[in-house]
């Protein structure tokens, strides 16, 4: 599996960029999976559901399956947050894994940058950022594409990982 990240500060368009890249790259016939980092607790099921009740009773893992999809919920309980590598190892084989977040991990990344968000570029201190997807021209020694140039950004990623 090939890996490529999309990073950036909050409100810089990471999720929208990943969503659009998944549609573009999978539309070209490649299988794409994603991993998203969350800095907060999150839940994929809801109070009152059977799966929620199983977890609340103490189950470490709950797998919910149907004719349309399945989901595995793993409660960490007293375990540490899994590493990115550990999470990647849980994925089924695919052509490309797009990783949203994980800005401190060392893998090739694109930085999503919007001027109005008012944050500094991460790329100035991170050589793992290979391209900046931005809404404004920047004075930096990295290639840049407009945030809306999804085809061009997809071409860049696919070229970088050898799928072009």
Give the tens place of pLDDT for each residue, 20-35: 999 999 999 999 999 9
pLDDT value at 40 more than 80: no
Q: What is the DSSP string of 8-31?
A: -STTSSHHHHHHHHHHHHHHTT--
Structural domain contains residue 45? no
Structural domain contains residue 142? yes
CATH number at residue 122: 3.40.50.300
Q: What is the pTM of this model?
A: 0.91
Which among 102, 82, 87, 96 is positioned nearest to 7, based on CA atoms?
Answer: 102
Q: Are 91 and 112 contacting, i.e. CB atoms less than 8 angstroms apart? A: no
The mean pLDDT value of the chain amounts to: 94
Structural domain contains residue 104? yes
Structural domain contains residue 47? no
Q: pLDDT of 115-146, one tens digit each?
A: 999 999 999 999 999 999 999 999 999 999 99
Structural domain contains residue 61? no
How far apart are the C-alpha atoms of 4 and 13, rounded to whole Å? 16
Q: In the chain, how many domains are there?
A: 1
DSSP class of residue 35? E
Query: Crossing angle, helix 150-161 and helix 14-27, to 10 degrees?
Result: 70
pLDDT value at 164 more than 80: yes
Give SS3 for 43: coil
Domain that holds residue 34: 2-39+79-161
Q: Could you give phi then psi for residue 50, rounded to 5 degrees?
A: -60, -45
pLDDT at residue 133 in the model: 98
């Amino acid at each position: 599996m090939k890996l490529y990240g999309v990073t950036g500060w909050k409100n810089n368009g990471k999720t929208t960029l990943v969503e659009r890249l998944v549609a573009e790259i999978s539309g070209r016939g490649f299988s794409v999976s994603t991993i998203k980092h969350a800095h907060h607790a999150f839940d994929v099921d809801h109070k009152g559901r059977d799966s929620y009740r199983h977890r609340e009773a103490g189950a470490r893992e709950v797998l919910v399956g149907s004719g349309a999809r399945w989901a595995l919920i793993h409660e960490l309980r007293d375990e540490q947050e899994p590493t990115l590598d550990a999470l990647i190892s849980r994925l089924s084989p695919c052509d490309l894994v797009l990783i949203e977040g994980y800005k401190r991990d060392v893998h090739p990344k694109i930085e999503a940058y919007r001027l109005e968000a008012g944050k500094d570029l991460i790329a100035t201190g991170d050589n793992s950022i290979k391209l900046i997807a931005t809404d404004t021209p920047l004075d930096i020694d990295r290639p840049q594409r407009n945030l809306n140039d999804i085809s061009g950004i997809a071409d860049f990623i696919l070229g970088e990982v050898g799928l072009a």
